[in-house]
Amino acid sequence: MRRWLLLLGALALAPAAGLAAPDALDDLLGRFRAMPGLEADFREEKRFALLDAPLVSRGTLHFQPPGRLARHVTAPAPSTVLLDGDRLALGDEHGRTELDLARRPAVRLFVDAFVKVLAGDRPALERIFHLAHAHTPADDDGWTLVLRPRVSPLKEAIERLELQGRGLVLARMRLVEVGGDETLTTFSRVDVERRYGPDEAARVFRLPAGER
């Protein structure tokens, strides 16, 4: 389980005082549902209690509704995570691994956290997480969304997942594990109007040739 959390990465502020009204969360997730696609650069820091310095990686993130996700790490070493329905594929210089998420419920729950936010699927999120949503003070379009696992085995591994953004533009994501380790991801050059044609989607949502 921990290996997949580290490979998936990803994905800090506490929620602002005074939670937003439920319809504000519905509005935010409704806007995500209408999003044609997303592309962004990311910088990820994995912070471990036993290490003095964080492990840093960089790459690109791609999302195509309703549930295709590609995470291409470009530095320090190339690797790729692909999600397409119940198929999860991971590739790096050591080879390729493919998982059937229908047979891996723990991994499925973790993967669904980020993907279901981008898909705007509130019922699916609420089956897995307690949700807390708040506006950023002095910025009506800024928001913080905190997801706390409500089901096992996820709640024994993850304390919370925090996402922040403005409008549909993600700014950062913080994953806090029960043991205190953290993964902080910051996003830049976020395109929330991204549309992937068939040829481009076939290129983006696949493992590179060297990772087959």
Residue 8 sits in a domain whose CATH number is: 2.50.20.10
Residue 198 lies in a domain: yes
Can you read off the two tokens belonging to residue 79? 């690797």
CB 14 within 8 A of CB 133: no
Residue 148 lies in a domain: yes
State pLDDT tens for residues 123-165: 999 999 999 999 876 667 899 999 999 998 889 989 999 999 9
Residue 202 lies in a domain: yes
- Residue 20 pLDDT > 60: no
Residue 28 lies in a domain: yes
Residue with tokens 């990311």: 42
Domain interval for residue 186: 2-207
State pLDDT tens for residues 41-96: 999 999 987 788 889 999 999 999 999 999 999 999 999 999 988 889 999 888 88
> What is the rounded distance in angstroms from the CA atom of residue 23 to the CA atom of residue 52?
43
Number of domains in the chain: 1
Residue 212 lies in a domain: no
Residue 123 lies in a domain: yes
Neighbours of 179 (CB within 10 A): 11
Cβ neighbors of 172 (< 8 A, separation 6 or more) are 12, 163, 164, 184, 185, 186, 187
Please give the model's pTM, rounded to 2 decimal places. Answer: 0.84
- The Cα-based distances of 46 to 6, 51, 97, 99, 210 in angstroms read 8, 10, 22, 23, 25
Residue 82 lies in a domain: yes
CB burial string 14-45: b at 16+ within 10 A, e below = ebbeebbeeeebeebbeebeebebbbbebebb
